């Protein structure tokens, strides 16, 4: 059985409920929920027994709200179960990143599979390389920025068809290459990945590929 589905069936703790309650209160403060809706969702939240029971109270909230891991697990699992999850912008957004920066010196890193791209991700590659595959990843927010400093190093980024990309980096005897333009056009409202930074005697390459290719 899928690990994420297993976690959805786990019993929630009082601390989990309090974390999600804070998110609901923030949503009400932002004007996303009325006071009556807040009361109804708080009541449903405290009646919840498992992580899966959290899903109805956070399902329609934006992905950029700071959901705790328990609610983020539910959001990702619910998105995975939806028939259109591979192309739905809302299914792509949600989760809490485990790391917000990476440094590679005389070595390399790879991020692929099911992971969460931070809203602001910083990568430094010095005489090393980094490979980031976003095709099965979630984005912490509807717009994320990957800031790269490549010095005698290289960074390769692969994005899926349902994510927009904006490449805006500077090259000093190096280059930022955007190879995504000829590989399909995402929906105008799709999540956005901005790739910024500087390549000094190094290179950054961004390309678009469907899952499985």
What one-character-per-residue DSSP string does the chain give? --HHHHHHTSBPPHHHHHHHHHHHHHHHHTTSS-HHHHHHHHHHHHH--BGGGGHHHHTTS-TTS---HHHHHHHHHHHHHSTTTTT-HHHHB----S-SEEEEESSEEEE-SS-EE-SEEEEEEES-EEEEE-TT-EESSSEEEEEEEEES-EEEEEE-TTSEEEEEEEEESSEEEEE-TTS----TTS-EEEEEEEEES-EEEEEE--TT-
Sequence-distant (6+) residues with CB within 8 A of 9 are 50, 51, 52
Per-residue pLDDT of the chain (213 residues; tens, 9 = 90+): 444 455 667 788 888 888 888 888 888 888 888 888 899 889 888 888 887 788 788 877 765 555 655 555 555 555 554 444 344 455 788 888 888 999 989 989 999 998 999 999 999 999 999 999 999 999 999 999 999 999 999 999 999 888 999 998 888 888 899 888 755 677 778 899 999 999 999 899 999 988 776
Give CA–CA dist 39/27, Å, rounded. Answer: 12
Which residues on neighbouring strands pair with residue 158, listed in sequence order? 133, 207
Give dist(CA 139, CA 119) in Å, integer.
7
Asked if residues 51 and 4 have their Cβ atoms less than 8 Å apart, the reply is no
- Give the residue carrying structure tokens 């923030």: 26
Give 98's contacts (C-beta < 8 A, 6+ positions apart): 115, 116
pTM of the model: 0.57
Question: Tokens standing for 167?
Answer: 């490449």
């Amino acid at each position: 059985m899928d690990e994420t589905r297993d976690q959805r069936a786990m019993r929630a703790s009082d601390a989990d409920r309090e974390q999600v309650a804070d998110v609901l209160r923030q949503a009400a403060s932002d004007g996303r929920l009325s006071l009556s809706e807040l009361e109804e969702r708080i009541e449903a939240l405290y009646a919840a027994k498992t992580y899966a029971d959290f899903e109805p109270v956070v399902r329609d909230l934006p992905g950029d709200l700071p959901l705790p891991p328990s609610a983020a697990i539910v959001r990702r699992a619910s998105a995975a179960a939806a028939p259109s999850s591979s192309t739905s912008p809302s299914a792509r957004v949600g989760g809490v990143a485990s790391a917000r920066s990476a440094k590679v010196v005389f070595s390399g890193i790879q991020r692929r599979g099911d992971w969460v791209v931070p809203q602001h991700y910083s990568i430094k590659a010095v005489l090393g390389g980094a490979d980031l595959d976003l095709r099965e990843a979630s984005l912490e927010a509807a717009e994320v920025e990957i800031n790269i400093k490549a010095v005698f190093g290289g960074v390769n980024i692969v994005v899926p068809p349902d994510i927009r990309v904006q490449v805006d980096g500077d090259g000093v005897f190096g280059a930022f290459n955007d190879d995504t333009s000829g590989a399909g056009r995402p929906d105008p409202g799709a999540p956005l990945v901005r790739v910024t930074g500087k390549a000094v005697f190094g290179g950054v390459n961004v390309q678009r590929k469907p899952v499985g290719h």
